[in-house]
Amino acid sequence: MSEYSILIGGKAGEGINTAGLSIAGLFSRLGYYTYMYFDYPSLIRGGHNFALIRASEKKVRAHRTPVDVLLAFDQKTIDNHRDRVRDGTTVIYDASQAVKAEGYGLPLDEIREEEKAPPITGNSAMLGALARVAGIDRGVYEDVLRATVPAKHLEANLRVARRGYDAAGEVFTVEPLAAPALPVLTGNEAAGLGLVYGGLESYVAYPMTPSSNLLHFLAARAEDLAIKVLHPENEISVILMALGLAYAGEKAAVGTSGGGFCLMTEGLSLAGMSELPVTIVMGQRPGPSTGMPTYTAQSDLHFVLNAGQGEFPRLVVAPGDLEETYAWSATALMLSWKYQVPAIILTDKTLAEGAFSFDIGAVAPPPDQEPALWDGAGEYRRYARAEGGVSPLAFPGREGAVVKVSSYAHDEAGFTTEAADDVRHLQEKMLAKGASLAAELATYPVVKVYGPHDAGATIICWGSQKGVCIEAAERFGAQVVQPLILAPFPVRQWKEAMIGAGRVVCVENNATGELARLLRQHGFDPGRPVLKYDGRPFAVDELEARLGEVIA
Amino acid sequence: MSPERFAGKPAGGLISPAENTWCPGCGNFSIQHMMKSAVAELSEEEGIPLENFVLLGGIGCHGKLVDYLNVNSFYGIHGRSIPAATGIRLANPDLKVICHVGDGDIYAEGLDHLIFAAKRNSDITVIVHDNRVYGLTTGQYTPTSPFGFRGRSTPGGITEHPINPLELMLAAGATHIARGYTKKIRHLKDLFKEAIMHRGFSFIDVLQICATYFNLTDYYNAHAYELQEGEVDIGRFESALGKIREWDYDREAPIALGTFYSVEKPVYEEKFRALTAGKPDRRALVRKAIQEWR
């Protein structure tokens, strides 16, 4: 099987992320599936950034530790990644910066000066050199540059890339595959497109890693996608604005991370009580508090499951790859409207900012869901009792309707009440909606099973850990079970998936085993924990080693 | 509520069946009835359908107002009416969106939203029920309580001076600023109508007496006066500022009532309208974006 790993590293501000995406694009053009992990500290310039790109004939959603080619803009990249260098690793480095290195040294300062090219074109020199080392035709990387570099800088980049190409030699040959060139998207981009597919009309957010790029993406594409994108003063305003939009009939979503979600919790409770739909994209990163802003974790599961005062139903979905992110962002938004509940799409930095080949052909179109609208007969009551707990919607401006929503305990018309019977009915109505939502979800495949069922060993995982677990499980012939929905928890499907599971391990990117705790709450055995909580996702080989200790 | 039912006499039909729980003598009654009349009169005079009015409330005695009127309403949470109002106006430009807020509600908990709504000139109306005391939580000081105010949380008297909300709003970029008083009800109604019809962010601080915890009726009656034509140039920042600084909610001074400032500026919500105009087929747009990816 043909498979390649490339690392490109340098200082923040040198465009490592963009360069990594170009490398992913290079392999994508040859028909390979690609994945990119981007590692960067929280600073603007300096420090050490690197992108790890993996390309393979089969679907890849995780990185491996060793690399075939190491592209280094500085000595730090050489020094920090010595453990990734094996026999056969080719090193390409900026000879004007790195001094202690072996491989192809590109005199980038000299090249840029001679070609009268701006500093950022160094990335193109690296891309050219990589293409040469990998035996990739000149025309392929030129295509990649044409697609990514703005027209006025294109010529300079092409010249510099050619210098890089000429300075290296062919080491191996990446054969083009007879497969289509799939687009390479981040999880944030897939979530944004999925939300719009599901009917999104407005996106409201305050910047916070790792969800800022969703805000940037939708803001840049607002005209193409016919949506409003708003950036108000803080996350409290964000969710209240979304609830105002929803009250007036417009489908809105918000995006944030743990710290911003803290501020949104009062708005989340308001959504629960007032029965206003809102979809929240919650990109996890390590906490508590500021934690490590640009790194990854799956440590907010119980926070999103329990956030807000009082008891109300919510939908929590944790997609594991781009296709699930796209389909379930659309579905979450539609279901939040159908059941008038908040929906949370739980991602993390690994998924949100990671780049993956996106195969729209592999996505079953999410089924259409329509909210129940008032038919105009009789007097309108916003919280009218109805089967399944879902009251028909009308919006202000509708002739003949007075639409009253409330954060206070209320009667069917929306007027404040503290009468015992009224508040009991209100609470039961809210819970009934949760039950209706759970019944509908039971008709979707929301517990996913991969690999042989009779393996005698099962790896449980959720969210972004799906890819690395499926790949590592192959070595042990193990089954992988992944819950896509975490609230309302799909108890029956889980029970069925775990019949004859054998030895069970639960892989998570957190310190306390949050999915394991949720499973125990529902009376299920989560098996043995395999946890990683240093802010980095598992590499496939790393997880294989860890699994070997517990299931081999 | 059907418009026919109230044809000819809309104001009468605007009172809801909800039980009123304000204290006897509360200033909120004046605000409620003048809001009711303002909505009814604007509907008749300007042809605004009653279903196009939306009232928002925060938490506190003022918030109950939205229950007492049979008008679309969003009974929200403490200090957060304004972003919800902005969302409503963004979704539907035909709606007249009016926030009823309290002084504790909006000058303490919700101050950031107030300043930013003024800054962006959001086309909403904010009416502050400024009784200068927390009523529903039984008598603590608020951001506009005068120096030395003795409340249940500050029995020794506060050592802070109040903010002057009009000055704050002028500095923040509000395009319409006024002050009313609950004992001058016709004047109050006219201020409401004027503010609702203003295109852009309009703000009225209503001196509202709290009959139970802070009854300033005698003080206001002795000091308040209505601004006369020409006394302030409402199109000029400096003129407005001078008049606004005449009384600072603290020291003894004449208290002007009326409109201090009113100018036209581009409205925040309008710049987003073109993006969602018509009925775009967003699914087709998504498919196109994926097809033409990079």
CB A252 within 8 A of CB A242: yes
Residue range A397-423: average pLDDT? 97
> CB contact, 8 Å: A199 with chain B?
yes
Residue range A45-67: average pLDDT? 96
Q: For residue A532, count other CB atoms closer than 10 A to its CB.
A: 22
Q: Say whether A35 sits in a helix, a strand or coil.
A: strand
**A29-55 pLDDT tens trace:** 999 999 999 999 999 999 999 999 999
Quote the pLDDT of residue A101: 80
As a whole-number percent, the residues of chain B with pLDDT over 70 amount to 96
Tell whether ipTM is more than 0.85.
yes
Q: Say whether A99 sits in a helix, a strand or coil.
A: coil
pTM (two decimals): 0.97
The pLDDT-based confidence of B4 (bands split at 50, 70, 90) is very low
CB A403 within 8 A of CB B72: yes
The pLDDT-based confidence of B10 (bands split at 50, 70, 90) is low
A414 to chain B: closest CA residue: B67
A196 to B75: CB separation less than 8 angstroms, yes or no: no
The pLDDT-based confidence of B2 (bands split at 50, 70, 90) is very low
Q: Residues B68, B72, B75, CA angle at the centre, nearest 5°? A: 65
The Cα–Cα gap between A464 and A448 comes to 14
A221 chain-B contacts, CB cut-off 8 A? 289
Q: What share of chain B is helix, strand, coil (3-state, %, to 5)?
A: 40, 20, 40
A224 chain-B contacts, CB cut-off 8 A? 285, 288-289
Maximum separation of any 2 CA atoms in chain A, in Å:
83
B90 to A401: CB separation less than 8 angstroms, yes or no: no
Quote the pLDDT of residue A455: 86
Query: Among candidates A77, A67, A38, A8, which has minimal Cα distance to A541?
Result: A67
Quote the pLDDT of residue A56: 97
Alpha helices in A7-107, H assignment, sequence order: 16-29, 75-80
B90 chain-A contacts, CB cut-off 8 A? 202, 228, 230, 241, 244-245, 248, 250
How many angstroms separate the first and last alpha carbons of chain B? 53
A404-406, strands of its sheet edge to edge:
A404-406, B72-75, B53-57, B96-102, B125-130, B202-207, B176-181, B255-262, B224-226
Question: Would you state the torsion angle of the CA atoms of residues B252, B258, B261, B262, taken in this order, to the nearest 10 degrees?
Answer: 170
- Is the predicted pLDDT of residue B8 greater than 70, yes or no? no
> CB contact, 8 Å: A109 with chain B?
no
Q: For residue A269, count other CB atoms closer than 10 A to its CB.
A: 18
Pick A248's closest partner by Cβ from B3, B80, B95: B95
The Cα–Cα gap between A504 and B35 comes to 65
A230 to B272: CB separation less than 8 angstroms, yes or no: yes
Among A218, A233, A236, A240, most B C-beta atoms within 10 A, so best to mutate, is A240
CB A510 within 8 A of CB A35: no
B87 to A248: CB separation less than 8 angstroms, yes or no: yes
A244 to B95: CB separation less than 8 angstroms, yes or no: no
- Is the predicted pLDDT of residue B9 greater than 60, yes or no? no
Taking CA atoms, A443 is separated from A199, A436, A446, in Å, by 22, 12, 8
CB A493 within 8 A of CB A482: no
Query: Among candidates A307, A306, A294, which has minimal Cα distance to A352?
Result: A294
Taking CA atoms, B263 is separated from A37, B177, B207, in Å, by 52, 10, 23
As a whole-number percent, the residues of chain A with pLDDT over 90 amount to 96
A244 to B294: CB separation less than 8 angstroms, yes or no: no
